[in-house]
Amino acid sequence: MLPATVSVPRVTVVDKVVLPADKTAVVVVDMQNDFAHPNGRLYSPSSREIIPRIAKLLAKAREKKVRVIYTQDTHYPDDPVEFPIWGPHVVKGSWGWQIVDELKPAEGDIVVEKMRYDAFFGTPLDHILRMYGVRHLVVTGTVANICVLHTVASARLRLYDVVVPIDAIAALNEFDYAAALRQMDFLYKVTLTTTEGVEFQ
């Protein structure tokens, strides 16, 4: 049996990270209506709460001409893998599939459609990053222990430097959030900071 309570190991959160603007991309994971809008099929209130912080980070990034990449979770009406787990969600072309209005991609931003949790799996993301000489990723979005964590893990296995602002990722509950941070810190050696702590030069 699992213990009734679990002690959460400490994670290291640094105050400030300075990244080279021309070799960095901000990745916004799955900030779509089905996840981050109250009328979404798999709405998580914490996903809504991080929108202003992601928007502020994007403004800072665009000011320094940092590349911005969105992942867009994408499924077809009869998805045999995820619909049995989660039910229908983010069906391509639907309202729920769209990125939330507050974070709509700007001209020049890149949107990568993905069919599984990992934004690298079956997508051109790695090729896009290497084509533009990106070596540093600032990863934000939802859900912390699912698509964010799988994307972060895949990036680290590909030897990208990864920074995660802990106030710009969302989870379904506190346990999942803490577990994701633990894995990022302990297993993948991700740099954890805050949106205020990320700077580009």
Query: Global pTM?
Result: 0.96
User: Which distant-in-sequence residues (6+ apart) come within 8 Å of 69 by Cβ?
Assistant: 25, 26, 27, 28, 109, 110, 111, 112, 125, 128, 129
96-129 burial, b if ≥16 CB within 10 A, otherwise e? bbebbeebeeeeebbebbbbbbbbbeebebeeeb
Structural domain boundaries of the chain?
17-200
Inter-residue contact 96 to 89 (CB < 8 Å): yes
Report percent pLDDT > 70 for the chain.
100
- Which residues form the catalytic set? 30, 114, 147
Say whether domain 17-200 belongs to CATH 3.30.390.50.
no
Render pLDDT for 76-107 as a digit per residue (tens, 0 to 9).
Answer: 999 999 999 999 999 999 999 999 999 999 99
Look over the chain and give the mean of its residue pLDDT values, rounded to a whole number. 97
pLDDT at 187 over 90: yes
Tokens for 122, please give them: 């079956």
Render pLDDT for 109-163 as a digit per residue (tens, 0 to 9).
Answer: 999 999 999 999 999 999 999 999 999 999 999 999 999 999 999 999 999 999 9
Distances (CA, A) of 198 to 19, 64, 127: 8, 12, 25
Closest CA to 199 of 14, 5, 18, 1: 18
pLDDT at 8: 80
pLDDT at 6 over 90: no
pLDDT at 51: 98
pLDDT at 2: 72
